[in-house]
Structure 1
Amino acid sequence: MKVLSCKAVSSSLLMALSLGVIAGCGGDNPQPQAAGSEPKAPTDLKVQFMVPSYADVPNMNDEYWSKFQKESKSQLEVEWIPSGDYDTKFDLVLASGNIPEVLVAGNITRPTLQNAVKQGAFWDLAPFLGDFSKYPNLKNNSYKEVWNYMKSEGGIYGVPRNRPQIDISLKMRKDWLDKFKLPVPTTLDEYTAALKTIVNGDPDGNGKKDTIGLIGQGFLLADGDGSFLSAFGGLDPVYDKEGGLINKNLTANYTDMITYFRQLYTDGILAKDFSAIKQTQAEEMYTTGRAASYARNVWRDFTFEQGIKKVQPEGEIISLPPMKGPGGVSVQLSVPFSGAFYISKKVPEEKVKQILDFFERTTTMEQTDYNYYGIEGVHYTMVEGQQQLTDLGKKQVTANGTGAIFPLAYNNKMKVINPAAPKVYNDAKAASVESYSKVGKIDFFSIINSNTWISIWPKYNSEWQSMVVKAIVGQISMDEYKAYVDKLNNSAEFKKAYQEFAKEYKEKIGS
């Protein structure tokens, strides 16, 4: 496994050392921090981080990071691990016991993480945080329920990396809908019919019927699974007859979704090699105009559209409105955090406080704006009231994962706005997905945990995925798949896990 690392002097703390009043985010969120409540920056704070890198490894001496270095008087030793290798590296680090001072966990329910928490590898932060009177930014600039979601083993071990709930959308080629005089779908049936018309036609005018209706990446559709599962009611809690909360993968709703994908596959709508497509392949297929629909972050609409226009000048991408399905609508909201920071128990208690002060200082809208746009006149200029990234900004800010080591402030437009797009485009895009937050559902299995599930599911996961793919491509019947799921659900160990899920759901989310 190739590991890219970059250990360098950087900054953490906001350049907001010079700022007084911290602005809130509005909506559910964040109220302004009282003037004068910001803690003083520690001097020469040195902290080790291990974080995933989703793009190029940052140059910690460029303009963006140099400003942090100078104003924060901090040194961050950051080990950047390519995101595709991160889970493997994460597990190896936990197994070795050689844990960096601050470790990012992308999935707070990951079995290896939960086992490490039980074994005392990380600090319980609840006694430090107390009533949050010393940490108003961490409280007020985070989603209102997020700290409840962080609870585990009777304590709080993670500092959430705040992220917006509006994130993933099902995309559609609007120009192709127009070409076949099709309305924008508002139901799953209309969506399916539109895709069937497109793949049976010749939308790109190349004289061939080679257009793919729906593509994804990884197992099933990856980013798109939740949108479809939501339409089938699979993001609502489903209980067995004993009151256990059935894992979403093994509900009748999920089985209904598989039946739907099976028909898409039969009709030539779903990509034939859907289970083997990698993310880079999916992006290339979509941006070269070979597919009609794809699920990814809303902000990517502009980027994908610009790519398509190079080969198909009329190309236009929309994020579809919530579409009504058999059991819900086609919108999955992200949980309001992207993993969390965990502080190694090897860190001295006094330094834990300094690190929490670091996080307090960086959980602001000013920090979030800096993370997103960088320095005015260097990384962006103001155009019609909106920050417009310069070429340097696109390189140093957009492409270097600047938000990896900061909690940031909760802001529901963060994954909608594309800083490379014109303001009129961004305003229209934000308006088009505004309803998502009102009707969408979160995957609460990203929040709740079951010790029994942690121990048993790894033994079945690969087999289950194989059964799902076989059912979709027709290698087994749906009755065979249902019998397989029933066998799992009726086993004593699965029933025990479902009881534990039900208990956690009630504690963290409520009835």
Structure 2
Amino acid sequence: MRRKTVTRTAMAGMSVLIATIMASACNNAAKEQGGDQAKPGESPTITILASKSTNFPENNAVIQEIRKRTGINVQVIAVDGPDYDNKLNTMIASGSPPDIFRVSSKAKMIDLVDNKVVMPLDDLLAKSGKNIVDNKGKYLKGAGYIGGKTYAIPNAYVLGNGLAIRQDWLAKLGLKTPATLDEYESVLKAFATRDPDGNGKNDTIPLGLSVASDQTFEHIFAAYGVPFKRGLLVDGKVTPWSIAPGYLDAVKFYNKLYQQGLVEPDFSTIPSLQEFEKLWNGKMGAFQFNPPGTTQNWLTRYIENPKPTFVYTIIKGPNGKGGNTRYVREDTGPWTFISSKSKNPEASMKVLDFLVSEEGDRLTWAGIDGKHYSMKDGKFEWIKPFDDAVQLRNEGGFAYAGIMQRLDGMEYQLMNETTRKGIDLSVNSPIPDAYIFGVPEIERDKKKILDDMELEFRTSAIVSKGDLDKLYADYKKKYLAEGGSVWIEQATAIYKKEQAELNK
């Protein structure tokens, strides 16, 4: 894809964090240049900050194998997902950032580049990144391509986001797979009142929902033509999703479901893991999430016997359309960086290149061939007890796969037919949007404020018994005054410039 980098104006004032970073960089420049390099015969040490969703032993078979195969002493600092950003900010501000880390915010990425916290990767990719270039090369010129240089490697990994419905419950109740909002509501009512789990009680949760997992909301907004958390072209202007036509209609539909007891009652506060557990424990009828989770990796977590079965579907709205927010691989984060303070950036690149290779991908996903799994006549088989995801994670399986994911790697190759169908359905059913690669300047100061305003409105409106039209009018007025109007102007200018460049 042809695209020139959007010009970004430097901010007049820097945050305390950035000021600390720069002061540290200046004070230690000479020291860092000469380094604490590995002595001859010693393995260089590379640190990686990684996010984890479940615990696993720090010293395990997979990390030992990574060190053995790369010849590099890889040290992974694994922190819980919600604590990741704070840990990274603390390490950067202290002047001791990890060699390798990821961020999910495009605005933060620009700050890191502007303040020389991260280094350009083009020379390193050319010298030591063959596997990365082969696997992700055509997606490198996205948000991480700034000023004609590659500063970040996009994840570019698309797993889809599919609405899965308990197929066995549908069959038991004599219902067909819903394809419209009316059919969907009828199915959810049946799940609430007709005892689909057969325990003699009306204690099921028809639709799982959690603000801690954004994707659980996406399908209903899409049914009303609203791309979740993305701009939409309205009268020639890039308009925030929460101000776009259809947003309030989607909120009203959620409100109707909530008032009937058809969605997770604690959706605004329940942590993701606790919501997952309700699905695993057989109490949930429909859930939107990555198919590799719902119908693949979680199969050993479902407590029912026989295991539940699911079907993926698209829910169409009043205009007869539905789907999912469009995937843009070159801008699909998070993005991976190498710190400008890395004492051995070439070793860092070698580690990343190994992780994205076929060999590294197999190791980080499935563990060690002959110990955790085997390949017999081209057929993959787990070696017990590592067919249990918990047992495999205790050995380091899955634990490091998220650091640098290979496109169409072992994870995808091992997916069952239901999961593949879920991914294909969600990826190949995009709804229109007004995607921009650049970041409006106002996002640097106002993005969290505006995002919090939207979330506060959405959660309060879904449970409200009041006048939603009035609540929404008040929200829009405040949103636009707080920076939404400026965002529209800046985003529209970026969109027009990028579209002109794409069409050259």
Instruction: Kindly indicate whether the alpha-carbon contact (under 8 Å) linking 2:324 and 2:429 is maintained by their aligned counterparts in 1.
Output: yes
Match of 1:345 among 333, 340, 343: 340
CA distance in 2, matches of 1:123, 1:55: 31
Residue matched to 2:246: 253
Task: Describe the SS at the equivalent of 2:141.
Answer: helix
2: CA distance, partners of 1:360 / 1:317: 38
SS at match of 2:202: coil
**Counterpart for residue 414 of structure 1:** 411
Q: Counterparts in 2 of 1:418-429, with a 5 A limit? A: 426-429=416-419
More moved, 285-294 vs 337-346: 337-346
Q: What is the number of residues matched between the two proteins? A: 451
Cα offset, 1:325, TM superposition: 2.7
Q: 2:119 — aligned with what?
A: 123
Q: Deviations over 1:13-71 (max 9, x none)?
A: xxxxxxxxxxxxxxxxxxxxxxxxxxxxx9833212211122224443x3323332222
Structure 1 segments of 4 or more deviating over 6 A? 442-446
Q: Corresponding residue for 1:157?
A: 151
Partner residue in 2 for 1:51: 50
Aligned to 1:480: 470
Task: Tell me the distance in 2 between the aligned counterparts of 1:407 and 1:193.
Answer: 42
- State the Cα distance separating 1:74 from its structure 2 match: 0.7
Task: Please give the per-residue CA displacement for 1:59-115, whole angstroms capped at 9, x wherever unaligned.
Answer: 43x33233322222111122111112112223333444432222222x132x44443
Letter in 1 for 2:216: G
1:493 maps to a residue whose letter is: G
Which residue of structure 2 lines up, in the alignment, with residue 205 of structure 1?
A: 198
Change (3 A) 1:68 1:126: closer
Deviation at 1:323, TM superposition (A): 3.0
CA pair 183-144 structure 1, distance change in 2 beyond 3 A: farther
Contact 2:251–2:458 (8 Å) recurs in 1:
yes
Q: Secondary structure at the match of 1:239?
A: strand
Q: Is the 8 A contact 2:242 2:454 kept in 1?
A: no
- Work out the CA distance in 2 between the residues paired with 1:331 and 1:122: 33
Task: For 2:52 and 2:352, locate their aligned partners in 1 and report how far apart those are by CA, in whole Å.
Answer: 19
1:497 is aligned, of 473, 478, 487, to: 487
Specify the SS of the correspondent of 1:294: strand
Q: Percent identity at matched positions?
A: 20
Alignment CA distance shift 1:428-1:298 (3 Å): closer
Match of 2:430 among 427, 432, 440: 440
Deviations 1:290-347, CA, capped at 9 Å, x for gaps: 2211222212324555544x44x35523141333234642334655444122222223
Which stretch shows the higher mean deviation, 351-360 or 274-283? 351-360
Q: 1:386 to 1:184 in 2, by over 3 A?
A: farther
Q: In 2, distance between residues paired with 1:56 and 1:374?
A: 17
- Alpha-carbon distance between aligned partners in 1 of 2:409 and 2:70, rounded to the nearest angstrom: 27
What is residue 233 of structure 1 aligned with on the other side? 225
TM-score, normalisation: structure 1: 0.77
Helix, strand or coil: the match of 1:366? helix
Task: Give the C-alpha shift of residue 461 in structure 1.
Answer: 3.5
> Could you tell me which residue of structure 2 aligns to residue 282 of structure 1?
275
Q: CA deviation at 1:381?
A: 2.5
Shift of 1:379: 0.6
- Paired residue secondary structure (1:245): strand
AA partner of residue 318 (structure 1): F
Distance 2:100 2:432 in 1: 27
Distance of 1:444 and 1:43 partners within structure 2: 51
SS at match of 2:411: coil
1:153 CA drift (Å): 5.7
Deviation per residue, 1:188-238 (Å, 9 max, x gap): 33222211122122212232222221112235x522123333332222742
**Matched letter for residue 337 of structure 2:** Y
Q: CA deviation at 1:245?
A: 1.8
Aligned to 2:105: 108
Aligned to 1:184: 177
Query: Structure 1 regions of 5+ residues with no counterpart?
Result: 1-41, 419-425
Amino acid of the structure 1 residue aligned with 2:49: M
- Kept in 2, the 8 Å contact 1:413–1:430? The answer is no
Q: Quick check: 2:139–2:156 contact (8 Å CA) kept in 1?
A: no
Equivalent residue in structure 2 for 1:403, among 384, 389, 400? 400
- Tell me what 1:217 maps to: 210
Q: Which residue is 2:14 aligned to? A: none
Which residue of structure 2 aligns with residue 79 of structure 1?
A: 77
Equivalence for 1:6: none
CA distance in 1, matches of 2:400, 2:436: 21
Task: State the alpha-carbon separation in 1 of the partners of residues 137 and 159 from structure 2.
Answer: 13
Aligned Cα root-mean-square deviation (Å): 3.3
Looking at structure 2, the residues matched to 123 and 486 of structure 1 have their Cα atoms a distance apart, in angstroms, of 40
TM-score (norm 2): 0.78
Q: Match for 1:320: what amino acid?
A: Y
Q: 2:253 and 2:266 mapped to 1: Cα distance?
A: 17
Farther-moved stretch of structure 1 (366-375 vs 427-436): 427-436
Q: Which amino acid aligns with 1:346?
A: K
**Offset, 1:184:** 1.4
Letter in 2 for 1:480: K
Contact 2:131–2:353 (CA<8 Å) still a contact in 1? yes
Q: 1:454 aligns with which of 418, 428, 444?
A: 444
Name the amino acid aligned to 2:51: P
